[in-house]
Amino acid sequence: MFEIFKTLEFTPFLLSFKLASITTLILFMVSLPLAWYLSQTKSKLKAFIEAITALPIVLPPSVLGFYILWAFSQNSLLGVFFEDTFGISLAFSFTGLVVASCFYSLPFMVQPLQGGFEALNKNMLEASYISGKSKLETIFRVALPNMKPALLTATIVTFAHTVGEFGVVLMVGGSIPNETKVASVAIYEMVEVMDYDSAHIYSLLMLMMSFMVLLSVYMFNQKHSHRVGIR
């Protein structure tokens, strides 16, 4: 029984976590200003931006994957630009996978952050402005410390969602070992070649990790739900 662990390749798992970590980090930095803007603006653009941000939730991953692949290819200006300036081919590479994941997981970062900002007491933010503090200082010293559950939900769910993606990864990255073959793709291949033992182990590991992650998020949020600063 344990023989199989010795022969089993764990690089796909490491690749999945590397991809998820980088994606979460980039998305956090990109989404913070975007979520703040959406939470504060009264502009008509808001609905438009919100709709675009939410698209990856409703679009089939194959549609998203197809457009991204097309954008990365030598037929598009973006693909040519990256190839010429950085010498990077985005399609079927890890870098391309990171870019694709950032699009795919964007709503899972933006929406909890925006919700967190919107739930903050407006008077509290105004009290900070009146105290002479800039918007930036208010965000980091008043807003973010008072929305820890939202911060946790955003980062953990984005991470977990990126680990769990399959369709977009398969289309944009293919299945190149040590480069784009992440855990979910590896499981797909194992099933295809009828290596059910390995598929079982991989799947069970995924299942347990996902459950533990979600459980810890919900437990933390339950513990902090009585915290005010929110009304």
Partner 1 sequence: MINIDINKKLHGSLGEMDLSVKLNIKEGEFVALWGKSGSGKTTLLRILAGLEEAEGSVDVFGESWLNSKKSLAPQKREIGYIFQDYALFPNMSVEENLLFVAKDRVLAKHLLEVTELTDLSKRLPNTLSGGQQQRVSICRALMKRPKLLLMDEPLSALDPSMRTKLQNEILKLHKEFNTTTIMVSHDPSEMYRLASRVLVLEQGELVADGEPKDILLKTQGSQKFSFEGELLDIRKVDVIFVAIVSIGQQLVEVVVSSLEAKELRVGQSVRVSTKSFAPMIL
Binding interface with partner 1 (CB under 8 A)? 121, 123-124, 126-134, 141-142, 145-146, 227-229, 231
* Residues 56, 92, 82: CA angle, nearest 5 degrees: 85
Q: How far is CA 161 from CA 5, 24, 155, 223, in A?
A: 26, 10, 10, 23
Which residue, 77 or 228, has its beta carbon nearer to partner 1?
228
Which residue, 166 or 220, has its beta carbon nearer to partner 1?
220
Q: Minimum CB separation from partner 1 for residue 13, in Å?
A: 37
Q: Minimum CB separation from partner 1 for residue 136, in Å?
A: 12
Q: Minimum CB separation from partner 1 for residue 142, in Å?
A: 6
* Residues 55, 106, 85: CA angle, nearest 5 degrees: 105
The position carrying tokens 């979520």 is 35
Which residue, 129 or 218, has its beta carbon nearer to partner 1?
129
Q: How far is CA 50 from CA 47, 54, 56, 99, 110, in A?
A: 5, 6, 11, 20, 9
Torsion, Cα 170 26 220 58, to 10 degrees, reads -50
Q: Minimum CB separation from partner 1 for residue 148, in Å?
A: 9
Q: Minimum CB separation from partner 1 for residue 38, in Å?
A: 20
* Measured distance CA(169)–CA(187) in Å, rounded: 13
In DSSP notation, 22-66 reads HHHHHHHHHHHHHHHHHHH---THHHHHHHHHHHHHHS-HHHHHH
Which residue, 126 or 197, has its beta carbon nearer to partner 1?
126
Q: Which of 226, 206, 228, 224 is nearest to 216 (CA)?
A: 224
Q: Minimum CB separation from partner 1 for residue 85, in Å?
A: 40
Q: Are 151 and 145 in contact (CB under 8 A)?
A: no
Which residue, 153 or 158, has its beta carbon nearer to partner 1?
153
Which residue, 46 or 133, has its beta carbon nearer to partner 1?
133
